[in-house]
Structure 1
C-alpha cells in the first residue's frame, strides 16, 4: 500500500472513532479523505513552523481544537487574528498574553483551503493544554529598567508597498556600501533598493533575476540579507541570500531523507560591470545552496568584518548566520546539535574567492577553527544557535550575535571560534529537552561544565522580549558607545554597554515623534511592529518597520 493510501486509511479509522462520540463543536466539518490530505499539505506549508498536535510550540498545541472551539471562530481567527484582538475577544487576548506574539493572518487562504485545514485538524481529538500557567515564567527575576532616555525620530523614507496587507514591505537590513555614502535596503519580496535623496530606487530586482524565489509563507523568507564586499568600488562584488522551494535544484548541504525539504536557501555572488551604476547590470553565480526543513531559521545574515583591513586574515571573508531551519521543532535535534560536524545552527565564514569548499565555488579560510579537521565542517566559526539573525562587531572588534529563542529566553552571545552555544539542549542558562516540551526548562546540572556550553553574554526572558533583533553601536548622543537592539513583534527598544563587564546590564529606552513620546506600535499603527535597524555611512542609526515599510532616523 502506498504512503498516501496508508494515511487515508489511518485518518479514516481516526474519524470513525471520533464520529462514534457526540461532540459539541466541529460536527459540520467534512471527513472527506481527499480534503483531509489537502489540509495536511496546507498545514505543513503554512502552519507547522508554529503549531503541532503534540504540545505547545511557538503557538498553541492544536490537537482537539476543532472539538473545543466554535468552527466559525477558528475560521475568522485564521483569516484575521488581529481583528479578534482589536475586538478584545477573550480567547484571542488570552492567546496573545500567553504566547507574547500575534499570529499572522492568512487572508489569501480561500474558504475551501480553510475547510481542508479544518478537516485535517479535526482528525486530532485530544484536547489541548488549557491556556493557563506557564512552566517557564519568572526564570529571570530581574526586570529590565527604563533608562528614561527618549530619542526623537524623523521619517526618513518609505519603501514601495510590495503587498496590499501588512507587512506592506519586508525590509530586514539597511547598510551603506563600505567606504561610500551609498545606502542600500532590501525588500524580501523584491530585491535591493538604493536610497537616493531619501527616495528608494530599485537597484536589483532579484525576483526578476531568480523567478523561483519565494517570499512566503513566513516573515523570514525571500531576500534574507545582503552584503557588499569591502572593495566593491573596485571589484563590483556583493552577495545576497534568498529562498526557493525545496527541490528547486540539487543542494550542497542537506540532512536525513526522513525529513522533508520545505525550502532552500541560496547564496549568490553578483558582479556589477560598473560599481557606480544606479541599476545593476552584470553577472552572477550561485555559491551555495542549503536545504531547509521549514520556512524559518535559515540564512538570515550576511556580513563582512568592518574592522578588517586589507592584508588582515579576516579581510574579504563572508560571515553567514544560519539557524536550525526548524529541525529541532521537528524533533531532529541531531541536525542542530552536530558538534561541529554540520553547518546548521551556526555562524559560518567562507572565502568567496576560494575554491576548496564543498562544491568548489568558495573557499574555507584557514583561520576557521575546524578548517582541515577530518569529519568537521570547516565553514563553521561557532555553533549551537537557534536563529542567529544578526552578526555584528563591537567597537573593540569583538564578534557577537543575537539569537532568537524558542519559548523562554532571548540571547546576545559574544562569539569565540569553535565554541558551542547550547541549542538545542540549552536555552539561555537553562536545560531544555529537545525531545520533550519546549516550554519546560530545567536548572543546569552540577556537572554542567563537562558539556562545554558557552552561555550568553545577555539573556532576556519572554516577558521582556520574544524575538530579539540587533542593532548597531551608537556613535553619538545620549546612547553613544551603546549597542541598541529590540524586540521584533512589539518594537520595544533596549541598549547595553557591551564593554561594561562580563554581565552587562540591559536597559530600555523610548522614542518621541513630533516632539511627543510615542510607542512603536502607535507609530506604525499596528500591533506587530516588525522592528529592524539600519545604519548609514555617518554611523547614524535608523529604526525600520515592515508594517508600513517606513524607515525612521534617530535625530
Structure 2
C-alpha cells in the first residue's frame, strides 16, 4: 500500500516527539520497557459528586452469560437535547433512550430495541446494543437525531454493509436517522431511515460513538457533519485493519447525513475530508477523517481555547491514551501503542518498546496524555482490566478551579483523571495525568467510585450538558452524579 500523505508539520512534530520519548541509541535494548510511564500524580483538588439520578433497571435479551454485561443499567452517556428545553438524554445499551428533566426524573423516550426487532443484539460484546445517540444541532426545528446500535442473527445474511467489511462478519453496527413529528413531544413518534451499516469480525470494538462538533456554526462547512468513532472489530494485535485506508474499521469517519453521494445515496462524503478527493483507484475511503485506532472510546471538542478535538483510546495491553485529532492523523495502531512501539511477534509479555531512530518517517501522531497499567503476571497478554474513557474539557461557569481541565477516567475501576488542556499539545511532552480524589456531597467524606457504585467494576462513563457541567455515570447501579464543586483533597 502506498505511503499515505502526511503534512510536513506532522512529520516535524513526530520527529520532535521521538526525540523527547525515545532513549538514546546507546541505551536501546530489544526487551520491553518495564515501566513505560510514571504513575498518575495525586491531585490536591478533589471532585465533589452529588447524586443526580438513577436510571431504571434493564436487562439484555437473551440474558447474557458474560458477567460484565450483568449490570443494573448499561447507561453509556449523558447529553442535553439542543432545543432549550433543558431535557437531558441517556442511552442504555440494553435498548432504551431515556429523557431526564433538570431534577433527574427519567422517562423512556424511544425503545430502539423494539423498533429494530429480533436482530437487535445486546447480550454479547461489551459495546453491543444501543450504544449512542446524537441530536442534530437544529433538532428543535427539524426533529432529527441519530442513533448507533448493533445487529446480529438474520441481519448478517439479509443485510449488506455499505462499506468494506470482513467476510463472515459476526456483528453489524447501524446508524439510524430518526425524525420526530413533534420535537417537543414527551415520547418519540415519527419516521426513521438507515444511514450507514458496517460489519465487524467480532462482537467487540464496533461503532463507539457518533457526534456533532459543538463549535460548528450554521454557516460553516462543518455544520451538520456527523463524526463516527469506529473500533477495529477486535481484529487482533498485529493486524493491518486500522492501517488499511480501504476499510472503515479502526477509524474516525466523518459523513454528511444530508448528502447523497455516499453508498446508495444515504449520506454524503464531505469534500474537506482528507482522502475525499483522492483519485479513483487510490485505495482510500473518502469517509475517513483519522485512522490507526484500536478502540476509540469517546470523542469531544474543547468549546473554548483552540477548540481542539480529542479522543480517548483503549490500548491493547500496556498504554491507554488521549489524542488530539486532526484530519488525516494516523495514531499508529497496531504498530504503536501510545508513544511506544508495539510488536506482536517475539513479544511473549505483550510489552512495548522504544521508538525506532527513524520513527519520523512514519508520520504517526502520538498522545497528548496517557497512563499505563501492569499486566497480570500469570496472563501478561490477557485482559488487563483497564479501559480509558474519554471525557471533556470543563468549560462550565460553576467551578472555576476546574476550568481548562480535560477530565477522563479508567472506566473499569472508576479512577478519575485530569490534565491541563494547555499542556495537551502534540509534538511536546505529554501532559501530566493527575488522579482526582472524590468527595461524596451527601456525607462530605472522601469516597471512591467503587464505593458510590457499590461494585468493584464501576463501568464509568461521562456526560455533559450545554452549560458545560460534568456528569459521571456508572453501569453498576445505573446512577448519575453531577460534579458540583472542587475542594482541597482530604
With the shorter chain as reference, the TM-score category is 0.7 to 0.9
Task: Identify the residue that residue 79 of structure 1 maps to in structure 2.
Answer: none
Q: Distance in 2 between matches of 1:488 and 1:227?
A: 22
Number of positions where the alignment pairs a residue of Structure 1 with one of Structure 2: 416
Residue 139 (structure 1) aligned with residue 36 (structure 2): yes
Q: Distance in 2 between matches of 1:501 and 1:236?
A: 36
Is the Cα contact below 8 Å between 1:238 and 1:270 reproduced in 2?
Answer: yes
2:466 maps to: 537
Alignment of 1:116-131 (within 5 A): none
State which structure, 1 or 2, has the greater radius of gyration over its C-alpha atoms.
1
Structure 1 residues not aligned, in runs of 5+: 1-133
255, 261, 265: which is aligned to 1:360?
Answer: 265
Residue in structure 2 matching 1:236, options 128, 132, 143: 143
Answer with 185-194 or 467-476: which moved more: 467-476
CA distance in 2, matches of 1:241, 1:248: 19
Aligned counterpart for 1:205 among listed residues 106, 111, 129: 111
Deviations 1:65-91 (A, max 9, x none): xxxxxxxxxxxxxxxxxxxxxxxxxxx
Match of 1:158 in 2: 54
Using the TM superposition, give the Cα deviation of residue 198 of structure 1 relative to its aligned residue in structure 2, in angstroms.
1.2
* CA positional deviation for 1:148: 2.1
For residues 506-525 of structure 1, what are the structure 2 equivalents within 5 Å? 506-513=433-440, 514-525=443-454
Q: Distance in 1 between matches of 2:393 and 2:185?
A: 30
Structure 1's 505 and 143: CA in aligned 2 closer, same or farther, altered over 3 A? same
Equivalent residue number for residue 72 of structure 2: 168
After superposition, what is the alpha-carbon deviation per residue over 1:259-300, rounded to whole angstroms, capped at 9, x for unaligned? x31110001000001110110000000011100111211111
C-alpha contact (below 8 Å) 1:151/1:510 kept by paired residues: yes
Greater shift after overlay, 532-541 or 459-468? 459-468
Deviations 1:324-381 (A, max 9, x none): 011124x6x222221x332111111000000101232000011111112133111011
Structure 2: stretches of 5+ with no match in the other structure: 1-30, 375-383, 485-490
C-alpha separation between the residues in 2 aligned to 1:170 and 1:138? Answer: 34
Equivalent pair of 1:328/1:336 in contact (CA under 8 Å): no
TM alignment of 1:90-129, pairs within 5 A:
none
* CA distance in structure 1 between the aligned counterparts of 2:248 and 2:298, rounded to whole angstroms: 17
**Candidates 317, 321, 331, aligned match of 2:225:** 317
Within 2, Cα distance between the matches of 1:159 and 1:208?
19
SS at match of 2:203: coil
User: Displacement, 1:217?
Assistant: 1.1
Q: 1:499 pairs with 410, 422, 431, which one? A: 422
Q: Give a deviation string over 1:163-201, Cα, whole Å, max 9, x none.
A: 398411001111001252221001110221000231111
Can you list the C-alpha shifts for 1:503-547, whole angstroms capped at 9, x where unaligned? 322111121112111111111111100000111232211110000
1:500 shift after superposition: 2.6
Two-structure CA RMSD over aligned residues (Å):
1.9
Pairing partner for 1:485 from 403, 408, 429: 408
CA distance in 2, matches of 1:500, 1:178: 31
Moved more, 402-411 or 192-201: 192-201
Q: Say which of 342, 366, 371 aligns to 2:276.
A: 371
Native 8 Å contact 2:90 2:99 kept in 1: yes
- Going by fraction, where is helix more abundant, 1 or 2? 1
Q: Where does residue 186 of structure 1 map in the other structure?
A: 91
Aligned residue among 336, 341, 355 for 2:242? 336
Instruction: Name the structure, 1 or 2, with higher relative contact order (CA <8 Å, separation 6+).
Output: 2
CA contact (8 A) 2:74 2:93 kept: yes
